[in-house]
């Protein structure tokens, strides 16, 4: 395999691994059995990510800079450690492929964090931006156990957690000023005119 093919394979593998990690952590850790226990002071509630995630769901505009910065550093360290472990366990793996996969996985977290921040704090400028905000706002305001992928909806479709496209009511206090850009099924009114 050429060096270019190794890098391309590593990048593709790292991207797929990141999006699956993002989905799995969000579904099974933060909104699954461990996350449920955190609301009662259990496992996830004792680590910073549990509290940060809980606060974010209480107020979707809430963000903490130190938590975001710590996440970037932690994921970079995890990607580097994972690369070392993979090379130790399977020394025949091409180093270039493995490093590319680890670096892409780490960059996946940074991409997720930036995209997620923009979904809440920036007006959409493209159709894709509108679509991503519609998906994510359904997660926040129509069902926290749906639309668990932020950077992609592939895993939601594969695992059956894609939200139904029904009208969504946002609390006026947390609704962004650009809410109208998401279409008339998103409102601060008690019921959208499209409600069944």
Query: In this model, does residue 195 exceed pLDDT 60?
Result: no
pLDDT in tens, 100-145: 999 999 999 999 999 999 999 999 999 999 999 999 999 999 988 9
- pLDDT at position 108 is 96
Query: In this model, does residue 35 exceed pLDDT 80?
Result: no
193 in a domain, yes or no? Answer: no
pLDDT in tens, 78-88: 999 999 999 99
88 in a domain, yes or no? Answer: yes
- pLDDT at position 38 is 46
Mean pLDDT, rounded, for 7-20: 97
121 in a domain, yes or no? Answer: yes
pLDDT in tens, 41-84: 555 555 556 666 677 777 777 777 777 888 889 999 999 999 99
Alpha helices in 29-170 (DSSP H): 33-38, 48-58, 65-89, 95-121, 127-141, 154-159
> Which residues make Cβ contacts (< 8 Å) with residue 87, sequence separation at least 6?
93, 95, 98
More confident residue, 194 or 14: 14
- pLDDT at position 196 is 34
Of the ranges 39-43, 89-93, 157-161, the best mean pLDDT one: 157-161
Q: How many Cβ atoms are within 10 Å of 39's Cβ, its own excluded?
A: 11
Domain of residue 30, residue span: 3-187
Total of domains in the chain: 1
Structure tokens at 31: 């909104």
- Nearest residue to 158 (alpha-carbon basis) of 58, 32, 19, 49: 19
195 in a domain, yes or no? Answer: no
168 beta partners: 186
- pLDDT at position 70 is 85
Alpha-carbon distance of 138 to 125, in angstroms, equals 19
pTM of the model: 0.85
- Nearest residue to 113 (alpha-carbon basis) of 175, 57, 71, 59: 71
pLDDT band at 182 (very low <50, low <70, confident <90, very high): very high
Mean pLDDT, rounded, for 151-169: 94
Helix (H, G, I), strand (E, B) or coil at 169: strand
194 in a domain, yes or no? Answer: no
Alpha-carbon distance of 21 to 186, in angstroms, equals 29
Enter the DSSP assignment of 16: H
């Amino acid at each position: 395999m050429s060096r270019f093919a190794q890098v391309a394979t590593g990048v593709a593998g790292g991207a797929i691994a990141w999006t699956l990690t993002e989905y799995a952590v969000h579904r099974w850790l933060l909104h699954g059995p461990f996350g449920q226990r955190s609301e009662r002071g259990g496992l996830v509630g004792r680590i910073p990510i549990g509290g940060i995630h809980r606060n974010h769901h209480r107020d979707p505009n809430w963000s903490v800079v130190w938590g975001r910065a710590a996440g970037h550093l932690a994921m970079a360290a995890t990607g580097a450690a994972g690369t070392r472990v993979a090379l130790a366990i399977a020394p025949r793996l091409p180093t270039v492929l493995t490093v590319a996969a680890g670096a892409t996985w780490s960059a996946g977290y940074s991409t997720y964090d930036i995209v997620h921040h923009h979904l809440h704090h920036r007006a959409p400028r493209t159709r894709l931006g509108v679509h991503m905000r519609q998906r994510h706002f359904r997660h926040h305001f129509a069902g926290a156990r749906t639309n668990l992928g932020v950077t992609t909806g592939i895993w939601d479709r594969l695992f059956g957690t894609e939200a139904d496209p029904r009208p969504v009511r946002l609390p006026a206090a947390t609704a962004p000023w650009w809410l109208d850009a998401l279409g008339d099924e998103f409102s601060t009114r008690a019921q959208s005119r499209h409600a069944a």
